[in-house]
Structures are given as C-alpha cells and as structure tokens.
Amino acid sequence: MTELTQKVALITGSSRGIGAAIAKCFARHGAKVALHGRDVAALSAVRSEIEAAHGQVMQVAAPLTTFEDLEGLRRQVEERLGPIDILVANAGKSYTRPNLALEDITEDGWRASIEGNLSATFLTLKSVLPGMKQRRAGSIITISSAAARRPHPASPLPYAVAKAAIELLTQDVAAQAGPYNIRVNCIAPETILTENNQRDIPAAQQVMLLESHPLKRLGTPDDVANAALFLASDQASWISGVILDVAGGSVLVR
C-alpha cells in the first residue's frame, strides 16, 4: 500500500464525507495529507484517525472565497509538508433546494452555488497549478456530479450547472497542463451515502434510488476514494482529461 509514498496531497473539503474518505485512503497508501475545511472539530477528528493509523497529516481551516485565501492555504501546506504533488479539489455543495423552477431560484442561491463550487475549484487550481508546472509534475482531480451528466428535475439546477462547468474546466486545464507532465481528471459521483445523506435521505427514498442503479446499491465515500487513488497514482500515468462516472451504472439509465 505504497502507491503514494511521500507524495504531498491536498484535499479541499476533507472534514467529512467524500473528502475525508479520500484523505484517509491517500494516507493509508503513503501520502502526506493536508486536510482542509471550515469545521475545526470535524477536521481534528479526521486528523486523529489518520494519525492513529500512523499517517502523516496536517489540517488547515480556511475559506475558499478569494485567491488570497487559496494562496494562504497553499503556503501553509508547502511550509509544513512540501510542494503539492496531488490536488483533489473536492470542496463544494448545493446551496439551493431541488425541484425548483428556474424562476423560483434566488439570485443569492445561484451565486452561492457558482461561487462555492465552480469558483472555488477555479481558484484552487489557479493557486496550485503554477508550482506543478514549474516542477513539471502533478496530478489534479476535480469533483463533479452525476447531476452534471444528465438533466434531472430532482437535481438543484445551479449546482448541476456549476458541476458541468467544472467538467469543462477540467478538460481545458488537462489540455493546457499536459505538456508539463501534469494530469487533470474529474470524478462524477452519483448519490453517495455520506453521513449527511444517510441522515437526510429517508430509508424508503434510498430504496427507490438504489433501484435506479444497475448495480442495485448506492455508493459509499470509499467508492469515490478508491477511484481517486487510482487517478492520483502512477497506475493512471497515461490518463488525463477523463470524466470518471462513479455512479453504479446509473448514467446509462434514461
């Protein structure tokens, strides 16, 4: 389990859910992990778990609102762990309810969804990519959603639009960064049973959701983490610009 030995990995939005699972997976496989989030207690819990398994880890609580925020985050990581080899731009969430008609979406909800997902990803890449180019090495993973892969009334529209834009951003940056030996890929999960989803999605609805997946189960954070591990590792050394659906086959269903 040494695929990422001594690699420095920054995972934004890693205080819980998918981001935390990726961080713990990377640490198990030898990476020096930088946790990021805004909930200090949740970050500390993830950090303690990694340290208990003898992983190398640090945590940074910071917003991702401005480029200065990201530059501060990057500098803290590099001062403690060294140059960033692997970036997972995971931070993001939905800021509006599903099943809203376009005219019922508030301007604040729209802007929050774009800023909290697309702009946060853009600023994260803008901060970390120059150093990778200078070193001529790196692996970047962005996180989209199955909501970006197929229109669905239950998907919050601003969130889906932001995630679709992240996919295009990923492929454009992959083309730009390829000559510098930097790989850039995207993971698009379907419904994942994070702590929040297990709490918020009623059991009956979970049964209905899993029936829409050919594999007849919902995803777990570890499903996404294992995909991220592959894309971050040298086993994926000739893979770039890919949108990887971690979706139980549901994107095949219309």
The pLDDT of 117-131, averaged and rounded, is: 98
Q: How confident is the model at residue 1 (pLDDT cuts 50, 70, 90)?
A: low
For residues 3-25, average pLDDT:
97
pLDDT digits (tens, 9 = 90+) for 81-103: 999 999 999 999 999 988 899 99
Q: Is 159 a catalytic residue?
A: yes
Homologous superfamily, domain 8-247: NAD(P)-binding Rossmann-like Domain (3.40.50.720)
Prediction pTM value: 0.94
Mean pLDDT of 168-182: 98
Residue that is written with structure tokens 């959603």 in the block: 145
* Active-site residue (options: 138, 159, 191, 227): 159
